[in-house]
Chain A
Amino acid sequence: GAVVSQHPSWVICKSGTSVKIECRSLDFQATTMFWYRQFPKQSLMLMATSNEGSKATYEQGVEKDKFLINHASLTLSTLTVTSAHPEDSSFYICSARGRSLIATNEKLFFGSGTQLSVL
């Protein structure tokens, strides 16, 4: 099955620094990638949708200047948390949709997530 690789799995950083999280589709071309945020014991909340080669579409309430998303190629999307603060500490998870997916299956493939802790 399709594989989405997300790195790093864990990151601890100081307040005020920036952190980059990578999401790669390993065996398919991801035309669309989604970034979610999940607080402990909560649901996944969609932050933004990125299409290859175009600007990301952010959900209401998500600061686009804080959460920079780049989808420069069909296999890579990055989320950069700029000037991170303790309230940005969360679990971030990406998912991808590719051209090659069987339409009737219509499932998204998820990365393994990144736990961000901002001190």
Chain B
Amino acid sequence: AQKITQTQPGMFVQEKEAVTLDCTYDTSDPSYGLFWYKQPSSGEMIFLIYQGSYDQQNATEGRYSLNFQKARKSANLVISASQLGDSAMYFCAMRERGGSNYKLTFGKGTLLTVNP
């Protein structure tokens, strides 16, 4: 079974509007971390935001916020006031506490296109 599911292969949004990228996860580990990374066409992975499983508040980082619904096992990324430079692939990822090597498991990604 997939541990990270991103159901939106592609999303379009108008510049200056908000967009939500979906992510659901599957784990039985009570301690885990959820990440969102942005990958522009150049290939590098850019860290956006992190949410710990025990965090009471939804994480926010500038225009990025994470809508964390633990009971539903979802961790959607909300980008407010979209900019043209936000066009990229976005990956949701999870780290589980089990194991000592701190592995990240990635979803298949969502390609976001911001239209002018």
**Residues of chain A at the chain B interface (Cβ within 8 Å):** 32, 34, 41-46, 49, 51, 57, 91, 93, 95, 97, 104-113, 115
Contact = CB atoms under 8 A, between A and B. Distances in A.
Contacts of B50: 105-107
A34 B103 contact: yes
Given A43-B108, A112-B42, A112-B44, A107 B103 contact: no
A108 B44 contact: no
Contact of A43 (B33, B52, B103, B107): B107
Nearest to A9: B43
B56 interface: no
Given A34-B103, A43-B108, A57-B101, A106 B95 contact: yes
B106 interface: yes
A63 to B, nearest CB: 19
B68 interface: no
| Main SS class of interface, B | strand
Given A105-B50, A107-B35, A46 B103 contact: yes
Contacts of B44: 110-113
Contacts of A95: 45, 104
Interface string B9-33: 0000000000000000000000001
Of the candidates B45, B46, B91, B102, the one having the most CB atoms from chain A within 10 angstroms of its own CB is B45
Of the candidates A42, A43, A109, A112, the one having the most CB atoms from chain B within 10 angstroms of its own CB is A43
12 contacts: A32-B101, A43-B91, A43-B109, A46-B104, A51-B101, A97-B102, A107-B47, A108-B47, A110-B44, A110-B47, A113-B44, A115-B43
